[in-house]
Every structure is written in C-alpha cells, then in structure tokens.
A = this chain, B = another copy of it.
Amino acid sequence: MSDLKSFASDNNSGAHPAIMEAVLRCNEGHLKSYGDDEISIRTDEVFKEFFGSQARIHYVTTGTAANVLGLRAVTHTYNSVICAEQAHINNDECGAPEAFGGIKLVPVPSKDGKLTPGAIAPYLGHVGFVHASQPRVISITQPTEVGKLYTLKEIEDIVEFAHDRDLLVHMDGARIANACAALGCSFFDMTTALDIDLLSFGGTKNGCLMGEAVVFLNPDIGEGFPYLRKQAMQLVSKMRFVSAQLERYLADDLWLENARHANAMARRLADKAGAVDGVEIKGSVDCNALFAHIPPEATEILLEKYYFYVWDEHDNTVRWMTSWATTEAMVDEFVDDLKKAVEAVR
C-alpha cells in the first residue's frame, strides 16, 4: 500500500498499535451484544474514574453522532443551540443537527472559533416569545476548529453565563485530549470541575479506529438516551469492538502520550517551518493544528508529494495537522521540501 504523506488531518493516521492489540484481544469468545458485554461495562467504569461517578457514557462511532445525539437528547425542536460560526456542528456535519435533531443552530461570529459571554449575549433571541426558538444549549469546541484553546477560566465564565440563564453547556471534545495535554489538566479539570453538562468525547483522531462517546456529566439530563442511540442507528451490535478501544485508550496515559506527541510535532513543525524564509506561521500554535502563509506556487509543488488543505485561497493560508503517528523525521523531511519549494518559486 502506498503511504500517504499527510499533514491534512489526524484522521489520516491509523490506530495506535496498543489499541489494535486491545481490539484483537477482545475478539475472543462469545459476548453479549449491544453493550451488555463485560468490556463495555468495564469501560464505563474507567470513564467514571476520569469524569466522576455521576457520568453516564454512551459509545458511538462518529463525532457527528456524538454531537448531534447529545444535543438532541437535551433539546426540544423549538430550542436553539448557540455555537461559534466556525463550529463543526455548523459547517462540517452536512446539516445533521437540523435534519436529524430538528435543532436550530444560532451561529455567533467569533475570532478563532472561541465564544465569550459578551459575544453570545446579543444572540440569545427573544426568550419566552412564541415566535422565536428558545435557546437551550451553548456549544463550545475545545480546542476550536482552528486549533485554538479556551483557558479553563474562559470556559468557567461561559458556564456561569449559561447556568445563570438556565442554559446547558456542551463541549465538542473531538480533540479534548490535545487540549488537556496542552493545558496540563485532566479530563475532569476540563469538564466536570467546570460544570460542563455534556461532552462529545473523541478518541478516533488521537489513536482509535473509531471510538467516540456521548458523556452526560449533569445527572439531570440525557434520560432515554439508550433508545435515542438505537433509533439513531448508532447502537453497534458487537459493541466490544468500540469499548475495547476506549478502555485501552484511557489506560496507562496512552491518550495523554499520543496527544502530547501530536502537539509536540505541531510545535516542531511551527518552529522549523516558521524559520523558513517566505513562510509565516499564523497566530499561536496551541495544539496539533497550525496555519501558515506560503506562496501559492510553493503550495502547488508541495501538494505533489504531500496531502494537506489549502485553508483560504484568498490569503494563501494552508492548514497543517499532526497526529500521534507523525514522526520527527516526517516533520523534518516536510520542512526540507517546504524550504526547497519556497526557494524554487522566489
């Protein structure tokens, strides 16, 4: 198989060998299906160690499912969900929240995909007015779609703002491990301790095959979710193959090491690429995504060998992502080729 030289997405990497091994191992014998197996039950307990004993955990196979089903479970169709205009739920799920959740999204203009109470306030709409969707959830992404981090204090402020108005806070944590690694905090610090109500927990991008979860942290929400998950076509029959991934992912700090590594590779790439004449790294590099200005002709040369996205054609910005599987050698080779490409087009 021809290997793709990819800095396009952490989705392009495979699964971590330790996780593959766990999947292999869980394959022995007959087990109950649909999550009643002992591995899934055990994995639930592992999650509770991380998120608190009140947490309820439901495995799904895609991040879109985690977002849409979590939000749907806590809303009526006449509710709205407030999110940054850059949010994955707003741009990258092909209208799933609207079509499969009946949810109205209220996109709020923002810098770097980060919401603030001040930015949200004008978008709450007419509370109690029968003609207006009634806000029910504020959804934040950590790290954001453009790789930026909320500080814990910034999240705390949003939660306080939300709870004061009887709104819930949802965190899209497709890359929550990268955020925790970068901020040096635990999953608990990032969510339960801040009174986040529900979380889309992502494992796939950081070393799983396909392993995501809806985690209800607020014990008063999420009733009936097992029926909803089944109905939403997300109740995998041989559930052990999902939960075994996540059990291993959460063991022995694998999630943390993978995330730290991905972040470090982004840092290395930023430092080395940023030192190349004609290349400018845009903004801070908080986790494992970075954005750079490079001459468009150099981009063309690089794309012959590498796979990554042109983020904005108008200002010649490209996005590069690293993952648990990105090596120092890959970064260094890429920077060499970048340097050559930029020089070639001068």
Show the binding face of A for B, using Cβ within 8 Å.
1-6, 8-9, 11-15, 17, 20, 23-24, 26-34, 38-39, 60-65, 68-69, 76-80, 91-96, 98-100, 102-105, 107, 125, 130-134, 204-205, 209-210, 224, 226-228, 230-238, 240-241, 307, 325
By beta carbon, the residue of chain B nearest A227 is: B78
Which of chain B's residues have a CB closer than 8 A to the CB of A12?
Answer: 30-33
In the assembled complex, how far is the CB of residue A280 from the closest CB belonging to chain B, in whole angstroms? 23
Which of chain B's residues have a CB closer than 8 A to the CB of A78?
Answer: 94-95, 99, 224, 227-228, 230-231
Which of chain B's residues have a CB closer than 8 A to the CB of A228?
Answer: 76-78
Which of chain B's residues have a CB closer than 8 A to the CB of A227?
Answer: 76, 78, 94, 130, 134
Q: Is the CB of B24 within 8 A of A6?
A: no
Contact partner of A24 (CB less than 8 A), chosen from B20, B26, B102, B232, is B20
Q: How many copies does the complex hold?
A: 4
Q: Given the known A-B contacts A4-B30, A64-B230, A94-B78, are A15 and B238 also in contact in the complex, defined by CB atoms under 8 Å?
A: yes
Bound complex: CA A171 to CA B257 (Å): 46
Q: Is the CB of B20 within 8 A of A94?
A: no
Which of chain B's residues have a CB closer than 8 A to the CB of A210?
Answer: 61, 236-238, 241
Which of chain B's residues have a CB closer than 8 A to the CB of A209?
Answer: 23, 27, 238, 241
The listed residue with most B CB atoms (<10 A of its CB), out of A11, A93, A233, A307, is: A233
